[in-house]
Structure 1
Amino acid sequence: MEMIKSQKIRLQKMLYGTFFIFVLPLYFIFLANSLSLPFEVPKLGYGGSVIAIIGLVIMIRGMYELKVKGKGLPMNAFPPEELVEDGIYGVFPHPIYFGFCIMCIGISIFYKSVAGLYLVTPVIIGGCMALVLGYENLYLKKKFGKVPHPLLGISNISKPFTKIFRLNKLWNILLKWAENRANSWKSWRLGKLRIINHFLYSGLAGGIGSGIITLVLGRKYSLYIVILMFIGLIGAAIIGQIPVGSTNKLSRPFGYFGSLFGVSAAGLIIFIFYPEIFKVLGAFAIASPVAQAIGRIRCLIQGCCHGDNTEEGHGIVVNNPHSRVCALSHKCGVPIYPTPLYSIIGNVILEIILLFYWIRGVKYTIVIGLYLIGAGITRFIEEAYRGEPLTKIIRNLRIYQWFSVGMYFFGLIVMLFPSGITSIPETLDYGTAFMTGVIFFLISSFAMSMDFPDSTRRYSRLSG
């Protein structure tokens, strides 16, 4: 029995190593050679090869020290037994990831690969950040009680900037704002109907999101916009029932991944008959981070997507009994991670990135792929700090982290689909955009902020 178990683990390690050492790098090379971008690679002569060699040396040294000092393999699924803090690990943060990213930059410059430098390498860096912030650092804290703080680590490098720009003060202001929103839940009754005060944010998320899409596309695509918006909303309501379920206090949960799955599936089906649908999906990708960031304010007030326990002064404290933090998770009065705030910041950054690529003129499918990858990275990190008891955990990862991994890889595939090129609209149809926005403001407000608390039927209640 022990022999069978040992052979199974050995096989898992081989498959895991093969995927990350051969399959994924080869796909990244294929992606870099298959895509084109309207940028230029810096002319550094042999500088690219020097950078690549430096990165390779750092990576190999990191693997060696992890094997010798850590007594294990460089695989986060099969972690080493000991924490390594000296040597190369005392200089560079996560030297295997760090060295690999540096190597990718150097190789892209050496081969003058535009897609390699401006698309594939950033995607790789983002994936490494997600693994570190969304899994490895938390694992190290749990197992060893600390994480390494190398000389060139983020905490050391960022100190001057934190002091100059008073980033600590800014973060404290944001925490206070988030805590105020998280304790602001209240409602009004109109007969059997209850209107919760976050209706403004759920409405603005749907209204502004649909308005942006209409501005980008124009009246010609109104039918597709309406269809996909409704599919997204219905998908969120249906899929929300699967991982979360229905209780007497919450019978109408909404799932972001349900919305994403619904829109993506519908888009791929429509693509068979109407290839131009990628233009519509590209507009959805541009609008989604804005809608998601606004919608997260609704999450703060509602108490959904809330964080796990954290140290005093590092999170927010919720005392409102109607918040899901208190009503369902029983974390009243204790500091929790402000995970919706993490999501807001991540979506703002993602929106800036997507706008940059859209303005420069790239394929719609590149924008769509970048959204899926960027949103997957953001969500993977955010989910690691969530504390909702209803969220399932599978092999040390929350179920939504697995969904986020799927988003990341699906985004890598979508980029290869043929499509048109993004551009700034010559004329903007403000009238149609306003009308669309008002319609979906009302629909989103009703769906996500109005309920029937006296009913026991499915989909009747949003909170206690």
Structure 2
Amino acid sequence: MKNELFAIGPIVVYGYGLMIAIGILAAYFVGEYRAKRKGLDADHIFNFVIWCVIGGFLGSKLLYSLTNIKNIIANPSLLLDFQNGWVVYGGIIGGIFSAIIYCRIKKLKFLPYFDLLIPSVALAQGFGRVGCLLAGCCYGHETNSPIGIVFHTSAYAPNNISLVPTQIISSGLNFLHFFVLIWFAKRKKADGQVGAVYLILYSIGRFILEYYRGDLIRGSVGALSTSQFISIFTVIAGVVLFIITGRQAPKEQL
């Protein structure tokens, strides 16, 4: 895998950054298209994307800082390292809170837009994990499996060792989540249930996949990784949201 894809003069195009950019653009265009199809105000989608990207990056950096507080206290300059130190769960939580704040400011109902945009989040994550593969971050345990992948010039993953392809598995799951959520969006009984299904699916998949991750520097809570610990609460939140919105749906139709 190669992170430095090509150069245009003095500008180097990195695979990770390129995939993140493609993911954000794909999320925006899909969200805008679906907003028009569903009768929601498509003019808000661009603002949602900007707010969620900013909130996501801040949340991702904040959670990384909290899980690595000892290292940061010892070396505060780590806070200024914008090439490393991001946690996906922090990005998800930060993005959701940013969307809630935007809806309050613009006096919009949050749940319809949550359901509209959450498939786009899964789509963006799918592209983002391709970027992880190119960079070599978020790598897996050493393995003798025939599906193992070997990095040779990664600045993050151990080189010349066969590793579980956690980036490929994660990317595939995220793309699968996107299609499942699009399918379920046509069958939901209440606003908020698509978002709930995303929280449930992502949390379960992430919890299991964490057992195969090899980058243990991300921190732990007891016997669980930080992401596994958070997954317990996000899957519970998803189940509760699904049940509550489902029970409220008949009342809203009366």
Q: TM-score, normalised by structure 2?
A: 0.79
Counterpart residue identity of residue 212, structure 1: V
- Return the alpha-carbon distance in structure 1 between the equivalents of residues 17 and 83 of structure 2: 18
**Could you tell me whether the CA contact under 8 Å between 1:278 and 1:419 is conserved in 2?**
no
Matches within 5 A, 1:61-140: none
Please tell me the root mean square deviation across aligned C-alpha atoms, in Å.
2.8
Matches within 5 A, 1:443-458: none
Matches within 5 A, 1:219-368: 219-222=42-45, 223-243=47-67, 246=78, 252-269=84-101, 274=107, 276-320=109-153, 322-325=154-157, 331-368=158-195
Question: 1:325-352 CA distances to partner (integer Å, 9 max, x unpaired)?
Answer: 0xxxxx2211111001111222233223
Number of residue-to-residue matches in the alignment? 231
Shift of 1:265: 2.3
**Divergent runs of 4+, >6 A:** 247-250
Shift of 1:383: 1.2
Match of 1:211 among 29, 46, 69: 29
Q: TM-score, normalised by structure 1?
A: 0.45
Shift of 1:208: 0.1
- Of all paired residues, the percent bearing the same amino acid is 18
- Return the alpha-carbon distance in structure 2 between the equivalents of residues 304 and 270 of structure 1: 32
Question: 1:148-199 CA distances to partner (integer Å, 9 max, x unpaired)?
Answer: xxxxxxxxxxxxxxxxxxxxxxxxxxxxxxxxxxx223253755x6432344
- Return the alpha-carbon distance in structure 2 between the equivalents of residues 207 and 240 of structure 1: 25
Shift of 1:395: 2.1
**Could you tell me whether the CA contact under 8 Å between 1:185 and 1:196 is conserved in 2?**
yes
**Could you tell me whether the CA contact under 8 Å between 1:201 and 1:297 is conserved in 2?**
yes
Q: 1:419 to 1:212 in 2, by over 3 A?
A: farther
Give SS of 1:324's match.
Answer: coil
The runs of 5 or more residues in structure 1 that have no matched partner are: 1-182, 326-330, 421-464
Larger radius of gyration: 1
**Could you tell me whether the CA contact under 8 Å between 2:150 and 2:161 is conserved in 1?**
yes
Give SS of 1:364's match.
Answer: coil
Q: 1:198 to 1:261 in 2, by over 3 A?
A: closer
Matched residue, 1:45: none
Shift of 1:396: 1.6
- Return the alpha-carbon distance in structure 1 between the equivalents of residues 58 and 139 of structure 2: 23
Q: 1:237 to 1:342 in 2, by over 3 A?
A: same
- Return the alpha-carbon distance in structure 2 between the equivalents of residues 295 and 340 of structure 1: 9
The runs of 5 or more residues in structure 2 that have no matched partner are: 37-41, 73-77
Shift of 1:252: 3.3
Q: 1:251 to 1:201 in 2, by over 3 A?
A: closer
